[in-house]
Structure 1
Amino acid sequence: GVPKTIDNDLALTDHTPGFGSAAKYIAASTKEVIRDMLGLAYNKKMITIIEIMGRNAGWLTGATALAKTEDCDGPDLIYLPEIPFDMEKFLAKTKEILEQKSSVVIAVSEGIKLADGRYVCELSGGADYVDAFGHKQLQGTASYLANYLGAEIGCKTRGIEFSTMQRSASHMASRVDVDEAFMVGGAAVKAADEGDSGKMVVIDRVADDPYMSAAGIYDVHRIANNEKMVPREWVNEEGNYVTDKFISYVEPLIQGDYQPFMVKGLPQHLVLRKE
């Protein structure tokens, strides 16, 4: 087997192919949203909620913290599905920040839940559809929270969903991610050629500074039906932001650029045809 999920929620592997590129897109897009909101909120208060993919694991949402750089404050609050969501504390914290600045940007996972286990998006009836795996389709979290804050605070609010662009924006792929995808694919072919079965290739982190990785292989039964969550110690005590340990984990994975082949000003994609 070969890992493939931008959600980064597979056990035993340090991270999954696709996660680095998705994190890069999310962090860059968050920076751009923040810059845009600064221009709109120069003479009035405004709150923007960004909804990121992540049903049970908040790896992608946490990546918005990478937007905090020398030229950007980053999101003001980050809420992951690993931490029960408290509406009253959320409202109070948002009000507190809004007293200090005119534009507040908040990142939330689509799968954030209340203490009783209900998804926040269910409060607006946005999780009625159930797929073949029994999973509720999560949508509308940002919209619901934006409307809630607008009613409670009385300022302009906006809900934004990055949606499928998080996994399809190949024009902003991470070079590290692309190189590791080739590494993992090659290791899988080699393992299959040598007769291995019931195994999955993983990425092992060999070093942090400079970052280095290598391909490993594990029994797939140790990985299947397990979810890797963001460790509690990688989220601050209040449960509304990630720590430096989280940032140190993700930052190496978004490095480097991968320029796509361009035709008439647009990226060209590989098309596979069955003869």
Structure 2
Amino acid sequence: HTPGYGSAAKYIGSITKEVIRDGLVYDQQNVTLLEIMGRNAGWLTGAAALAKCEDCEGPDMIFLPEIPFDVENFMKKVEELHKRKKSVVVAISEGVKMADGRYVCELTGTIDYVDAFGHRQLTGTARYLAEKISREVGCKTRAIEFNSLQRCASHIVSRVDITEAFQVGGAAVKAAFEGETGKMIILKRVSDDPYICVTDIYDVHKVANVEKKVPREWINEAGDYVTEEFVSYIKPLIQAELTPIMVDGLPRHLYYTDVEQKQSR
């Protein structure tokens, strides 16, 4: 896994729980779609399953980009859930694709921006499906894009994640002093119980712009949820917290002053 993944997963699991609780407040039928980052890999979207615990039933469905997405089949599943439940919550990846290879968000006709790698900006999947549900099922819908929040919510970081980030930084400096070049530091899990992770170096050319997909066996047969193996993989990465320093009720971020920057030069 990459540094930062544990904290992003922790945020997604936490906010998914809170959105589910919020949907139960209103005495009316509603469907909420959570659009989560990840392009063509569902690691972040799958983290929504962390919300399922003794005080929360978790999202009703989770759709990862590793499985072709059938819009009409999805609509049928939502209708069935809608008949049985007051509030339906679905986590869906921004990068889910239909069988013909098109992203669902392309159905909105609003994708314009392309980055330096030739990747189109993926946005609008949840909005498109929410509008379709509203029209065809006839209930209140909400489309929530977690967007940048899932990668910048430093108030809910994982202590395990922070510790590993420091380890990666130290290993990178050591490798540089030893003359390594064209390499990157990676994290390798040695043990699940107890959780043990070590650093290693790897050829960056074999990693850059390559996607690591969620294994098919970690997605259920129906393709609308993740398995316990997936959740077990994530759980060690979200453990413990690093409470932010609060000043006047807001978190204080570390920064360099002009004097410190001059001294560091």
| TM-score bracket for the superposition, by shorter chain length | over 0.9
Cα gap change, 1:220/1:132 in structure 2, threshold over 3 Å: closer, same or farther?
closer
103-112 vs 210-219, greater mean Cα deviation: 210-219
Match of 1:39 among 25, 34, 55: 25
Q: What RMSD over aligned residues (CA atoms) do the two structures have, in Å?
A: 1.2
Equivalent residue letter for 1:234: W
Structure 2: runs of 5+ lacking an equivalent: none
**Aligned ranges 1:94-133 → 2 under 5 Å:** 94-133=78-117
Match in the other structure for 2:193: 209
Within 1, Cα distance between the matches of 2:101 and 2:229? 27
Structure 1 residue 129: deviation in Å? 2.1
Structure 1: runs of 5+ lacking an equivalent: 1-14
Structure 1 residue 85: deviation in Å? 0.6
Contact 1:24–1:172 (8 Å) recurs in 2:
yes
Q: How many residues align?
A: 259
Q: Deviations over 1:123-171 (max 9, x none)?
A: 1123122223322111111111100111111111110111111111000
Structure 1 residue 198: deviation in Å? 1.8
Match in the other structure for 2:147: 163
Q: Deviations over 1:42-94 (max 9, x none)?
A: 3x211000000111111000000000010001000001111111011101111
**Aligned ranges 1:71-86 → 2 under 5 Å:** 71-86=55-70
SS in 2 for 1:95: helix
Structure 1 residue 181: deviation in Å? 0.2
Moved over 3 A (4+): 272-275
**Aligned ranges 1:19-38 → 2 under 5 Å:** 19-38=5-24
Match in the other structure for 1:16: 2
Equivalent residue letter for 1:16: T
Equivalent residue letter for 1:52: I
Q: Deviations over 1:176-220 (max 9, x none)?
A: 000000011111111111111122111111111121111111222
87-96 vs 57-66, greater mean Cα deviation: 87-96
Q: TM-score scaled by structure 1?
A: 0.91
Contact 1:126–1:138 (8 Å) recurs in 2:
no
Match in the other structure for 2:182: 198
Match of 1:267 among 236, 240, 251: 251
Contact 1:98–1:104 (8 Å) recurs in 2:
yes
Match in the other structure for 1:7: none
Match of 2:236 among 236, 239, 252: 252
Match in the other structure for 2:37: 53
Within 1, Cα distance between the matches of 2:156 and 2:183? 31
Q: Identity of counterpart residues, as a percentage?
A: 64
Within 2, Cα distance between the matches of 1:247 and 1:61? 12
SS in 2 for 1:115: coil
Within 1, Cα distance between the matches of 2:181 and 2:127? 45
Within 2, Cα distance between the matches of 1:109 and 1:161? 10
Within 1, Cα distance between the matches of 2:182 and 2:111? 35
Match in the other structure for 2:137: 153
257-266 vs 54-63, greater mean Cα deviation: 257-266
SS in 1 for 2:100: coil
Within 1, Cα distance between the matches of 2:11 and 2:162? 14
SS in 1 for 2:84: coil
SS in 2 for 1:224: coil
